[in-house]
Structure 1
Amino acid sequence: MTPNLETCPLCGSPLAPALRAPDRRYATSQMYEVWQCGECGLGVTRMPEPTLAAESHYPDDYEPYRQISRPAGGLRRRLAASLLGARGYPQDDALPLPRVLAAVLATIRCWTWCPPPPPPGKLLDVGCAAGAYGAALQRLGWQVVGIEPNARAASLARAAGLEVWQNAVEETDLPAGAFDAITLWHVLEHLDRPVAVLQRLRPALREGGLLLLETPNREGLGALLAGSYWFHLDLPRHRYHFTPTALVKTLTLAGYRLLRLQHIPNPHGFAGSLAYRLGRRNLRELPLLQAWGWAFGIATAALRRSDIMRAYATPV
């Protein structure tokens, strides 16, 4: 783990204290500080034990490491198939959609995590966890390789049918030009050196290849309203807290050109933040709270101030 920083790793401006909070996911009493850059807005988590191994903050019951099996019902499955069809992936059981609606859906890329479908392509999923995303893409025709440092999660991903390199991405030898797309879904904020990791990944993309990543938005309305109770703060696992400006600067420093920056509706920030505020973490799964979360997420995405950002980029 890197030592605590005094200046912004992106622009060199001084960092100043912004908030203090405990690890609310596991209800520990240890407090952590987030310091913020006054120039680009990047938040940096300061660790009271900066030399402690990062793995100590990721127990085996960490949610992304769990095996997830949620078979969709008939209507839900067919609607998902319709969205994939609008994205360019042919689906046999899609709902019939009017031509105009299909055209609209084809432009709303935030409704699916799938990259545009090239000829049969190869994708690297960095931080693949238990492999749910990679397995879904393989069913759509992608050849997927995952990188996952956690042994239990890597084992689950292999059981799901993925080829998995169990290692930290910083220590993985990547073949040059081997991948049509690289994904980092909620990974960037966990890294000690995000710019260096993105630089390391760049040669592994073929010419014209696509980098897709998602990360929480520190300038979102959910973050501003919830403060230290914001669900996506997730201290101390989130080492960095990005604003749109900081994310674009990160990509630029790493040698990428931003193609698109989207604000993604997501119910979990609203529901999780309220549950933390009330001291009732189990409230997060209540259907009514999830419905309110979706309404809040859709509204803030329309205002371009949602909890989650998604970036599409290509190597320069």
Structure 2
Amino acid sequence: MTTTETGPSAPDPTAPQPVGKAAARARQVAALRPDYRARLADGTERFFEARRPDCPWCHSPRLRVRLRTRDLLQHKPGRFVLEECRDCGHVFQNPRLTSGGLEFYYRDFYDGLGEQRLGGMFSTRASVYRGRARSVAPFLAAPSRWLDVGTGHGHFCETAHELFPRTSFDGLDLSEGVRLAEREGRLAHGFQGSFPELAPTLAGRYEVVSMFHYLEHSTDPTRELTAARTALRPGGLLLIEVPDPQCRSARLLGRWWLPWLQPQHLNLMPAANLRRRLGELGFEVVLEQHGEPHDPVDLLAACWLLLDAVAPREDAPWLPGTPPGLPRRLLRGALFLAGAPLLLLATGLDRLVARFAGRARLSNAYRLLARHDARP
């Protein structure tokens, strides 16, 4: 399992690749294929826990199926179900992936085969990162130390340092990207591992802890929040951004709403639930935003996912059969070329919707800033 520094955006399958890179990827896929086929020889059932009979947030047994889907991005085999609690509105993957299942489905998404594509995408989102960092400024003008949990390749920290030049930015992630970010100077210190397990060694170090599109990946969000409380100094700030499962876009777009991101997203919390849980842990919410964290990609991503679903598959080591030949590759390219006007229209509509997304409850994410209670 790994984490990501931002919400997912639709990749561009039509972007040209140099021949050398395409050939290198083909060799990488071929080298990985025997291992993936061995892992899949007995099917995918072993990647799942038993179905849970109650809500992991409030323990109510009143559940209903919210979504049934497949892996729409990597197209790894398996079926995934999201259930919703009728009492508190919490949405969660049920049955949930085991640790082995998480490792299988995360593999080659942020690292390996997916590292170059995802790293390049994250590096171009500076305006998004500035907006996140600015939300802290009215409450803390010059934090001395900041920990970004789920930092990925550290691009948020690199951008936020421009706004807070005196702040020392550390990052934590399960993936090896955090080591790369430290070597390239985007982080003062990079910590690789589980936040709850590392939190005791980081106790009381930080004035700000941020979690951008991280909690939804975790198996136990409350444990992650408790770890943040441990790492913060008294009076410190916890900045959280997560997808909003109650937004209207999620219902209108159904399985094509990108933030469902199955099978990676395990828990999606309504804002009211997260506010209450933070209060129970000794935090005071000082800022709640809905329009500002909206990422204007919902329609573009939905159209891209639809096109990708009907197009011939790109070569991947977990797919059955032989690698796609030239006719299938040409057909895939032609389909996306024909769909380019639709993608451009969706991009324009996304930008239009962004102007009123918060007021119309179409925002695909929300942001909370909470202060750690300084009282003993």
Q: TM-score range by the shorter chain?
A: 0.7 to 0.9
When structure 1 is superposed on structure 2, of 29-38 and 135-144 the one drifting more is 135-144
| Kept after mapping to 2: 8 A contact 1:196/1:254 | no
Matches of 2:122 and 2:81 in 1, distance apart?
Answer: 36
In the superposition, the TM-score normalised over structure 2's length comes to 0.67
Q: How many residues align?
A: 282
Equivalence for 1:16: 64
From 209, 213, 231, the equivalent of 1:182 is: 209
> Tell me, what secondary structure is at the counterpart of 1:33?
strand
SS class of match (1:40): coil
2:161 alignment counterpart? 138
Q: Measure, in 2, the Cα distance between the counterparts of 1:189 and 1:233.
A: 10
The structure 2 residue matched to 1:126, chosen from 132, 149, 153, is 149
In 1, the alpha carbon distance for the partners of 2:96 and 2:267 equals: 15
Paired with 2:54 and 2:279, the residues of 1 have a C-alpha distance of 19
Show the counterpart of 1:164: 190
**Alpha-carbon distance between aligned partners in 2 of 1:147 and 1:286, rounded to the nearest angstrom:** 35
Q: Deviations over 1:108-161 (max 9, x none)?
A: xxx44332152352100001101101112233312011101112x123211331
1:67 matched to 2:119: yes
Contact 1:195 1:253 in 2 (8 A): no
Please identify the structure whose Cα radius of gyration is greater. Answer: 2
**Aligned residue for 1:266?**
295
Normalised to the residue count of structure 1, the TM-score between the two structures is 0.79
Q: Aligned pair 1:148/2:148, yes or no? A: no
How far apart are residue 302 of structure 1 and its match? 2.4
Unaligned runs of 5+ in 1: 85-110
Give 1:248 shift: 2.0
Q: Does 1:244 align with 2:292?
A: no
The offset of 1:50, in angstroms, is 3.2
**8 Å Cα contact 2:286/2:369 also seen in 1:** yes
Amino acid at match of 1:113: A
Q: Whose strand fraction is larger, Structure 1's or Structure 2's?
A: 1
Counterpart-to-counterpart distance in 1, 2:123 and 2:97:
41
Task: Please say if residues 228 and 238 of structure 2, whose CA atoms lie closer than 8 Å, have aligned partners that are also in contact.
Answer: no
1:244-273 deviations in Å (ceiling 9; x for gaps):
222223323443222222113311223212
- Return closer, same or farther for 1:124/1:70 CA change in 2, 3 Å cut-off: closer
Deviation at 1:290, TM superposition (A): 2.4
1:283-309, Cα deviation, whole Å (9 max, x unpaired): 799554323212223322122441111
Pairing partner for 2:357 from 291, 295, 300: 300
Instruction: Tell me: CA distance 1:39–1:26, structure 2 relative to 1, closer, same or farther (3 Å).
Output: same
Distance 1:71 1:149, change over 3 A: closer
Residues 53-87 of structure 1: CA distance to partner in whole angstroms, max 9, x if unpaired? Answer: 42222133436884338888xxx99xx6xx97xxx
Q: Match of 2:66, as an amino acid?
A: A
- Name which structure has the greater RCO, CA cutoff 8 Å, separation 6+: 2
Q: CA separation in 2, counterparts of 1:269 and 1:40?
A: 25
2:94 — aligned with what?
46
Distance (whole Å) between structure 2 residues aligned to residue 71 and residue 216 of structure 1: 21
Closer, same or farther: CA 67–120 of 1 in aligned 2, 3 Å: same
The question of 1:6 aligning with 2:6 is answered: no
What is the identity percentage for the equivalent residue pairs of Structure 1 and Structure 2? 24
Match of 2:20 in 1: none
Between the aligned partners of 1:53 and 1:18, the Cα distance in structure 2 is 21
Q: AA paired with 2:227?
A: R
User: Which residue identity is paired with 1:45?
Assistant: Q
Shift of 1:4: 4.1
Structure 2 segments unaligned to the other structure (5+ residues): 1-47, 312-335
Compared CA separation, residues 218 and 49, structure 1 to 2 (3 A): closer
**Structure 2 CA distance for aligned equivalents of residues 313 and 126 of structure 1:** 15
Partner Cα distance (2:150, 2:122) in 1: 21
Give me the whole-angstrom Cα distance separating, in 1, the residues matched to 2:358 and 2:157: 26
Q: State which drifts further: 168-177 or 198-207.
A: 168-177
CA distance in 1, matches of 2:183, 2:106: 21
